[in-house]
Amino acid sequence: MENNHLLLEVKNLKTHFFLDEGTVRALDGVDFVIKRGQTLGVVGESGCGKSVTARSILRIVPQPGRIVDGEIMLYLPAQSNHSTLTNVVNLTRLNPRGTQIRSIRGCRIALVPQEPMTSLSPVHTLGNQIVEAIVLHQEVSQAEAREKAIYMLDLVGMPQPSRTIDRYPHELSGGMRQRGMIAMALSCHPSLLIADEPTTALDVTTEAQILKLMQRLQQELGMAIMFITHNLGVVARMTEHVIVMYMGKVVEEADVDTIFHNPKHPYTQALLKSIPRLGQRTRERRRLESISGSVPDPYSIPKGCSFHPRCSQRIVGLCDQEEPPNIEIGPGHKTRCVLYR
């Protein structure tokens, strides 16, 4: 892998939450890489650490969470205007409230959150919130920033952008708010857009529109997208490379075709069996399979492979004892499972 194609490299990232009830190891050694312009899908059940990964990268992990180990390397283009930034920045080393991480947040790495209904301040206009982001990272006047905000709203397909800019969030529909959020995120041309389940709260028609919009914008602007979702249909449609997470670890990583057609980890296999497919074995009327059991208690992650209590292929005496290694089974295809050792 050539270094100049690298954008973000996450190595052995551990983010833990220190609660009165105990320590929750939300991320327990996460590794992955995002290349320039690539779309990475991050898949997993609720609570597997997808959103915490996103927040760790932005260094906005809420209290009492803390990154305890690992590195997040951000590779910036050499012709950077920001003299404070070197070519490679280790985000975990930065002060989460310092100027350096703040010049990266919203500028180099932007976030499109899950809840368009509540992600905009109810008492400020949409324009106020977008202009704020532009003025913060670009040396432009208020009037220029407003022009730019209108241009961005137009770009994301907002109807009547020069009027919508002065609307309050409650006057906009969910889809329009999410378009507004995307316009805000893209207003400073980030190299990486983190989309944290951006369509979960929307109806399917709006979801389709937003996904189409994101694909179009990625082609036009050439940024990388880290697409967090639990919707495998969205993964198939949107992403090139996929990581599957379970209990704070990446259990399988491959390009999107391999994940869907040749999954190796029992968790990925089970996940794929749990979605209905059109035209497959309709005569047999097979029951849709579900993964037995539920996500373990986060305070007491099982010993060995954290998936072993729910795994149909577990090897007693091995899986409940030994932490499975990360095994490369093909080009760019890795999995954490002893079956492939």
Return the SS3 of 314: coil
* Min dist. Cβ of residue 302 to other proteins (A): 30
* Min dist. Cβ of residue 152 to other proteins (A): 14
CA distances from 166 to 134, 152, 203, 272 (A): 16, 14, 25, 44
Which x/- pattern over 80-99 shows residues binding other proteins (rule: CB under 8 A)? -----------------x--
Single residue of 110, 172, 183, 245 touching other proteins by CB under 8 A = 110
What number of other Cβ atoms are within 10 A of residue 161's Cβ? Answer: 21
- Taking alpha carbons only, the member of 17, 24, 31, 47 closest to residue 295 is 47
Q: Dig out the tokens for 152 from the structure.
A: 């961005």
61 near other proteins, judged by CB under 8 A: no
102 near other proteins, judged by CB under 8 A: yes
* Min dist. Cβ of residue 26 to other proteins (A): 16
Among the listed ranges 26-34, 127-135, 256-264, 290-298, the one in contact with other proteins (CB under 8 A) is: 127-135
Assess contact for 248 and 49: CB atoms under 8 A: yes
CA 258 to centroid of chain Cα atoms: 20
Which of 34, 131 has the CB closer to other proteins?
A: 131
Which of 134, 158 has the CB closer to other proteins?
A: 134
Among the listed ranges 71-79, 128-136, 156-164, 265-273, the one in contact with other proteins (CB under 8 A) is: 128-136
Among the listed ranges 131-139, 211-219, 258-266, 329-337, the one in contact with other proteins (CB under 8 A) is: 131-139
35 near other proteins, judged by CB under 8 A: no
- Determine phi and psi for 21, rounding to 5 degrees: -75, -15
- Taking alpha carbons only, the member of 259, 262, 285, 288 closest to residue 273 is 288
What number of other Cβ atoms are within 10 A of residue 214's Cβ? Answer: 23
Let me know if 165 is exposed, middle or buried by CB neighbors in 10 A (0-12, 13-18, 19+).
Answer: buried
Strand 249-255 to strand 333-336: parallel, antiparallel, or no bridges (unpaired)? antiparallel
Q: b vs e for 81-105, b when ≥16 Cβ sit within 10 Å of the residue's Cβ?
A: eeeebeeebebbebeeeeebbbebb
Strand 109-112 to strand 88-90: parallel, antiparallel, or no bridges (unpaired)? unpaired
Residues of this chain, 164-203, that bind other proteins according to CB under 8 A: 168, 170, 181, 184
Single residue of 85, 94, 136, 318 touching other proteins by CB under 8 A = 136
Single residue of 31, 90, 103, 329 touching other proteins by CB under 8 A = 103
What number of other Cβ atoms are within 10 A of residue 119's Cβ? Answer: 19
115 near other proteins, judged by CB under 8 A: yes
* Min dist. Cβ of residue 286 to other proteins (A): 40
* Min dist. Cβ of residue 175 to other proteins (A): 17
Among the listed ranges 116-124, 244-252, 259-267, 301-309, the one in contact with other proteins (CB under 8 A) is: 116-124
Q: Which residues here bind other proteins, judged by CB under 8 A?
A: 58, 60, 62, 97, 102-107, 110-111, 113-115, 118-125, 129, 132-133, 136-137, 168, 170, 181, 184
